[in-house]
Structure 1
């Protein structure tokens, strides 16, 4: 009853608001007074919204069974997203045996990540211009087709192409899930769901290699890709049936399809993808096929930087028509969130990249046992993500959780660098669980921050920026970590004599180095590997420390006071609740 009354009052006031607003603008124009902008993306001042207005806004969101089915569907999408990225790792040996080549191993991952990074901004803009459901279904179809091609691949090249197509789809699934959440859940409740999503994504990423190994052994490697088809098909159908959104703003709705497609700026995207291809080739070849100081690697890196600068200049030149509007990056909240999530994800990925190897080679655990020892990170991160999301909805601020992660993760990373051959199991579990807790608690904040300060229409662009950074950062830092590790390994094992020389280090795996070394030197080899990995983790400490610039630099904006979800009708007219409330007082 209260909600109905509020809505009626709002509708009764609106015509007079429109008349008043139009008259005021005419009067201001005649008198030379600058007209006030109603664009939330340019307004950083906090808004205290009446409780009645907040209650009225919630009538536009889904409720009941349909809402919970949509949330379950989006959770399944997040799980599909994480599985697609991680499941291929354990299938690689079987794939290389089937196609009788190891030349494309790197590209099974690189092709996927390249497409995912390269199309983030396109999807961010597409969700702003086109109906969210349509764009999301297209992304889902790309993911479905890519998985199908991978499963049915008759050559290694066909598998690489399938992974690239699946990456294009995955880029849209992540951004689309957030776009649908924005249109289905009030801002102050979103952290709870984002925390659950982070827990689901982390769990899926850890379990995906185990699932991939089980499928490869029982049904064959192709089922690592076919497993995504029923889940992808179900999410596609459920999205079509469950999700609905309000019409786009008038200035977007009146654009022709051709105009909208031109605003996706295909030229800029070609430049960006070309820059990423050059970068990924350089990172993939450096230290393996070519030396880091070779002309080929340097040339690729220079080309990547030049093309990235050209992409940035074109965005500046295009303005609002750019695929990434420059004003999005002028927001302090967007920039600090981008810095935080890029360093945050990079630190965690570098740690987790070497941690199973450390367990197996230095401490002598089996692959299965090393997998179990990853559980402390997973469990702590899950608790942290769900707990922080829930608390964030209660307290109404995201910044404290980013600050907590900025303090916890450097401390935990520093403790991890003290690990040695004789470190107890209890310390291994405690140190890794501590960094997992920090990771979980900090995982939700950047996404919530961007949604707090940007309008619903611009939030998809902000999220695309964050997803780009969180994908590209690990790709670069893992390559840097590999350089540090190989350099440290050569230094720490180089003095052991001819039995362990540079040639054997480059041409053998770590386990082979250990088994081929004389019995009298095996302990020294283990110590050398231990030092090499822990020294590589100094990079994790550095990245975690630099996170502080993003965590402590975050603005303390309230989810409850700064909800960009104005009442549906007022938002469509570009009016705020302050306009309506002020006019009511004026009329009285």
Structure 2
């Protein structure tokens, strides 16, 4: 029997990939079909081996690290263009698309580095964000075609660990460059990192026959990239971010502008859902995907992780008086622990095929760790914040990469880029939405507590100084009140991170506890 699935079988497989591992497709058993396909792929030598495989994976790791370095600078730009990347790798050659994405990112970084005004900097960030959205999807897509199926989860875990490490190293390097050289080097550093990735992929990665883009006229390809969905989700995201930024700080929550964007946000989301429903199976995000519990879980886990990653350094700076560079070093227990378990989760899924126990156990440990971080106070010992970070990092590492690993394991190779992009889209949108919510909570609480604890000082002055400068600029008598205000404002943020991890764990519990069948 041919290993090439019929259209009906493919549809069932796609349904399986999007329904928490549903029914088996008709025809040959999954294990037999996977084994036959593995043998076929190995026979034709489509997977790089040895040195070539190592170099390709290294190039992808560098590319992931490149995006993670600028994560906090490019988060909104990356998510605004994320919808476009859902179609690029499906309709255009993988190799060319990936190298183009890196080139666009490098161009944007160069523009940022040489910018002479804020408008030029914003334009550069927008261009870099467009490239970054393509790089992240391309890395996970290429590793699916470059690595044998039994190794894919492990390599995916390595890239996830790299992403986590880069998320911390980026702000750390940014602080060093800004303080000792120039802020422009935050962008110049990207240029030498991206070039090796382009060269290695160009010379050593051969696009396999299973990675050929769908054949269609150029106009049809462009029309199927769902630009209407892109426009709607971008507009909705902007409305949400503006509401979180304005509300309670620069504008009152009951002001006309804040109310307007708060009303527009759900309206645009509703229209977006209608747009996807109207397009049916041609939509980039079908209702089968919207019902997938793993996608909801990954958004919640991402919100918890990125909230902690963003606000824990503020704790070190405002409460302990650490510099920006030192606060990055203090974050290392979180990242080291996360790196270890991210790689381990990929290996465990490769070995046993079960992902829900890993997702649930990771969620439980993350929730406990986040809850312990909430107990931090002014004057907490270093042994406390180190241990709590290790606990949270171990849990996050187990859970963070599972959706990408599962998507690559259970769908057909031609669909890998699409499902990977969707998973990353939910992950990054979760981070963006919940960081914005956390920022709104923190800013509103800080203004409130400053008015109570240091009424003689204008809260706008304290906020303008930032977490690292207020100690050197305010009267000594006011410092304890400001520190207390920061601590009281951080606690609700840590509650949000803990709640997100807990809800993500509950969502993971209702997923189907089945063994995944690796596909080619």
TM-score, structure 1 as length reference:
0.79
Report the alpha carbon displacement of residue 465 of structure 1 after superposing the two structures with TM: 2.0
Report the alpha carbon displacement of residue 78 of structure 1 after superposing the two structures with TM: 0.7
Separation (CA, whole Å) in 2 of partners of 1:406 and 1:143: 33
Greater displacement, 213-222 / 184-193: 213-222
Report the alpha carbon displacement of residue 357 of structure 1 after superposing the two structures with TM: 2.0
Determine whether 1:563 maps to 2:518. Answer: yes
The answer on whether the counterparts of 1:500 and 1:513 sit within 8 Å (CA) in structure 2 is no
The answer on whether the counterparts of 2:243 and 2:261 sit within 8 Å (CA) in structure 1 is yes
Distance change in 2, residues 1:298/1:461 (3 Å): farther
The answer on whether the counterparts of 1:144 and 1:166 sit within 8 Å (CA) in structure 2 is yes
For 1:407-440, what per-residue CA distance to the aligned partner results, in whole angstroms no more than 9, with x for missing partners? 1111111111111223222112111111011111
Separation (CA, whole Å) in 2 of partners of 1:483 and 1:251: 43
| Residue 23 (structure 2) aligned to one of 41, 45, 50 | 45
Q: State the number of aligned residues.
A: 506
Distance change in 2, residues 1:314/1:519 (3 Å): closer
Q: Point out where structure 2 has 5 or more consecutive residues left out of the alignment.
A: 17-21
Distance change in 2, residues 1:309/1:146 (3 Å): same
Separation (CA, whole Å) in 2 of partners of 1:482 and 1:359: 17
Kindly report which structure 2 residues correspond to 1:24-173, keeping only aligned pairs within 5 A, or say none: 37-39=9-11, 40-43=13-16, 44-46=22-24, 47-50=29-32, 53=36, 55-59=38-42, 60-86=46-72, 109=73, 112-173=74-135
| Residue 248 (structure 2) aligned to one of 278, 282, 287 | 287
Separation (CA, whole Å) in 1 of partners of 2:301 and 2:212: 39
The corresponding residue for 1:301 is 262
Report the alpha carbon displacement of residue 514 of structure 1 after superposing the two structures with TM: 5.7
The answer on whether the counterparts of 2:317 and 2:327 sit within 8 Å (CA) in structure 1 is yes
Report the alpha carbon displacement of residue 54 of structure 1 after superposing the two structures with TM: 5.3
Q: Point out where structure 1 has 5 or more consecutive residues left out of the alignment.
A: 1-12, 23-34, 87-108, 566-588
The corresponding residue for 2:352 is 395
Separation (CA, whole Å) in 2 of partners of 1:448 and 1:542: 25
Separation (CA, whole Å) in 1 of partners of 2:459 and 2:124: 37
The answer on whether the counterparts of 2:241 and 2:436 sit within 8 Å (CA) in structure 1 is no
The answer on whether the counterparts of 2:86 and 2:225 sit within 8 Å (CA) in structure 1 is no
Separation (CA, whole Å) in 2 of partners of 1:489 and 1:177: 40
The answer on whether the counterparts of 2:90 and 2:213 sit within 8 Å (CA) in structure 1 is no
Determine whether 1:200 maps to 2:182. Answer: no
The answer on whether the counterparts of 1:125 and 1:324 sit within 8 Å (CA) in structure 2 is no
The corresponding residue for 2:398 is 441
Determine whether 1:232 maps to 2:181. Answer: no
Separation (CA, whole Å) in 2 of partners of 1:515 and 1:76: 39
Secondary structure at the residue paired with 2:151? helix
Separation (CA, whole Å) in 1 of partners of 2:102 and 2:322: 39
Distance change in 2, residues 1:403/1:518 (3 Å): same
Determine whether 1:349 maps to 2:314. Answer: no
The answer on whether the counterparts of 1:324 and 1:461 sit within 8 Å (CA) in structure 2 is no
Kindly report which structure 2 residues correspond to 1:399-414, keeping only aligned pairs within 5 A, or say none: 399-414=356-371
Distance change in 2, residues 1:152/1:497 (3 Å): closer
TM-score, structure 2 as length reference:
0.88
The corresponding residue for 1:324 is 285
Q: In angstroms, what is the RMSD of aligned CA positions?
A: 2.9
Kindly report which structure 2 residues correspond to 1:476-555, keeping only aligned pairs within 5 A, or say none: 476-496=433-453, 498-500=455-457, 509-510=466-467, 522-555=479-512
Distance change in 2, residues 1:510/1:151 (3 Å): closer
Determine whether 1:418 maps to 2:375. Answer: yes
Distance change in 2, residues 1:64/1:260 (3 Å): same
Report the alpha carbon displacement of residue 236 of structure 1 after superposing the two structures with TM: 1.9
Determine whether 1:189 maps to 2:151. Answer: yes
Distance change in 2, residues 1:557/1:187 (3 Å): farther
Determine whether 1:223 maps to 2:223. Answer: no
Separation (CA, whole Å) in 1 of partners of 2:81 and 2:268: 16
The answer on whether the counterparts of 1:514 and 1:525 sit within 8 Å (CA) in structure 2 is no
Q: Which protein has the larger Cα radius of gyration, Structure 1 or Structure 2?
A: 1
Separation (CA, whole Å) in 2 of partners of 1:558 and 1:210: 40
Separation (CA, whole Å) in 2 of partners of 1:484 and 1:398: 34
Distance change in 2, residues 1:52/1:341 (3 Å): closer
The answer on whether the counterparts of 1:128 and 1:458 sit within 8 Å (CA) in structure 2 is yes
The answer on whether the counterparts of 2:104 and 2:127 sit within 8 Å (CA) in structure 1 is yes
The answer on whether the counterparts of 1:328 and 1:461 sit within 8 Å (CA) in structure 2 is no
Greater displacement, 236-245 / 396-405: 236-245
Report the alpha carbon displacement of residue 268 of structure 1 after superposing the two structures with TM: 2.9
| Residue 473 (structure 1) aligned to one of 417, 420, 430 | 430
Distance change in 2, residues 1:529/1:224 (3 Å): closer
Report the alpha carbon displacement of residue 172 of structure 1 after superposing the two structures with TM: 0.6
The answer on whether the counterparts of 2:346 and 2:405 sit within 8 Å (CA) in structure 1 is no
Distance change in 2, residues 1:207/1:496 (3 Å): closer
The corresponding residue for 2:416 is 459
Separation (CA, whole Å) in 1 of partners of 2:57 and 2:252: 48
Report the alpha carbon displacement of residue 543 of structure 1 after superposing the two structures with TM: 0.8
Secondary structure at the residue paired with 1:346? helix
The answer on whether the counterparts of 2:77 and 2:129 sit within 8 Å (CA) in structure 1 is yes
Report the alpha carbon displacement of residue 45 of structure 1 after superposing the two structures with TM: 2.2
Report the alpha carbon displacement of residue 320 of structure 1 after superposing the two structures with TM: 2.7
The answer on whether the counterparts of 2:454 and 2:478 sit within 8 Å (CA) in structure 1 is no
Greater displacement, 539-548 / 242-251: 242-251
Distance change in 2, residues 1:364/1:153 (3 Å): closer
Separation (CA, whole Å) in 1 of partners of 2:125 and 2:152: 31
Secondary structure at the residue paired with 1:289? coil
